[in-house]
Amino acid sequence: MSDFNIDATNPENLSVLKEKETRKRLLKHARLIGCEREMVLLFDKYDSLLKRCSNESERKDIAKLGCFEIYSLLGKGGELYVDNQLVAKDD
């Protein structure tokens, strides 16, 4: 876990990356902590689920679940928001 906190209430501290760049960074971090294979498997799992889903509401729920699994794989810690909704909070 990092030694610094980011104030997520300040919009200047937030940015949105393109999906390709986000995946690249997640894989790099997963490699550093020894779970790159698991991350690739998660990407494949959720790509497959999303490809077969045509219902927009379900797609959003699948995306939240995928974000939560990645969050868990990388060690949790803090709060996870997806589409401005709190998905997980660790004490």
Q: What is the pTM of this model?
A: 0.77
* Residue 39 CB neighbour total at 10 angstroms: 21
**CB contact at 8 A, 33 and 74:** yes
Which amino acid belongs to residue 57? S
In a structure prediction context, what are the per-residue pLDDT tens digits for the chain, which is 91 residues long?
A: 455 666 666 666 666 778 898 899 999 999 999 999 999 999 999 999 999 999 999 999 999 999 999 999 999 988 898 888 889 998 7
For all residues of the chain together, what is the average pLDDT? 87
